[in-house]
Amino acid sequence: MSDVTQRHAALHLGVAEQGKLYALDGAHDEALRHYQQALRMAVDSGAPEVFFRHYTQCVMESLEATGSYDGVQRYCEDADRHYQALDRQGALFALDHGSILERLGVVQLKAGEVDAARASLRRALALAGPRGLPLAAQVLGWLDRGMTVSDRHLTDAQRRHGYFVVTRERVDPDRAIPLPGGGETAAAGLV
C-alpha cells in the first residue's frame, strides 16, 4: 500500500470513526454527515469495497436508530436486486446477501410490516441459514409462534447477536477526525 493510499485510508477511517462517536452519543445527524463524507472520500480514493460496505452499514444503523426505516428499506431492496443480478454462489456471498435481507426484515418489523418482515427473514435464512443469521432465526421463530415483538425485545436481540457494527467496544476514539463545521458532542469526552 503506497503512502498516499495509507494517508487516504487514515483520513476516511478517521472521519468515519468520529461519526461513530457521534452515533454512540445519539447525534445521528452529525454521524450521518461524517459517514457520508467518509464514503465520498473512500470512493474518490479508490479504496477497496470493504470500506464502502462498512460505512454504508454505519449509515443504515443511524437511519434505523432515528426511525428512518424507508431509507434503510430502499437501500436493502436495491442491494437485494443487485445481489440477485450477480448470479454468484458461495457461502460468503450467501451470508452477505442474507444479512441484507435480515436488516430489511428487522426494519420492516420495526415499521409494523410484520408479513413483509416474515418474508424477508425467511429469504435471509434460506440463503444463509440459521447459523449464519441467528438474529433472523430468533425473530422469525417469534413471529411464527404469533408473538408480538416489542422494540425493546428486538433491540436486545440485535445486541445479543452482534447486529450492530457501531458499539463502544469497536470504536477507537484516538483515530477520530472531526469534520469542520460540526456541532459539539458529549462523545468528545471519549477522545
Q: What span, in angstroms and rounded, lies between the C-alpha atoms of 121 and 130?
A: 10
Counted residue by residue, the chain has a size of: 191
CATH topology of domain 3-190: 1.25.40
Residue 189, pLDDT score: 32
Residue 1, pLDDT score: 58
**Residue of 68, 69, 67, 57 lying closest to 99 (CA atoms):** 57
pLDDT, tens digit (0-9, with 9 covering 90-100), for 38-48? 999 999 999 99
Express as a percent the part of the chain with pLDDT over 70: 94
pLDDT band at residue 89 under the 50/70/90 scheme:
confident
Helix (H) or strand (E) holding 98: helix 91-110
For the chain, the domains span 3-190
Q: Are 75 and 83 in contact (CB under 8 A)?
A: no
Residue 112, pLDDT score: 96
Statement: residue 185 has pLDDT above 50 = no
Residue 4, pLDDT score: 76
pTM to 2 decimals? 0.86
Give me the mean pLDDT over the 69-95 stretch.
90
Q: What span, in angstroms and rounded, lies between the C-alpha atoms of 2 and 18?
A: 24
Q: What span, in angstroms and rounded, lies between the C-alpha atoms of 84 and 77?
A: 11
Q: For residue 176, count CB atoms less than 10 angstroms from its CB and return exposed for 0-12, middle for 13-18, buried for 19 or more.
A: buried
pLDDT, tens digit (0-9, with 9 covering 90-100), for 17-44? 999 999 999 999 999 999 999 999 999 9
pLDDT, tens digit (0-9, with 9 covering 90-100), for 129-178? 888 999 999 999 999 999 999 999 999 999 999 999 999 999 999 999 99
Q: Are 98 and 136 in contact (CB under 8 A)?
A: yes
Express as a percent the part of the chain with pLDDT over 90: 79
Residue type (1 letter), 53: R
Residue 57, pLDDT score: 93
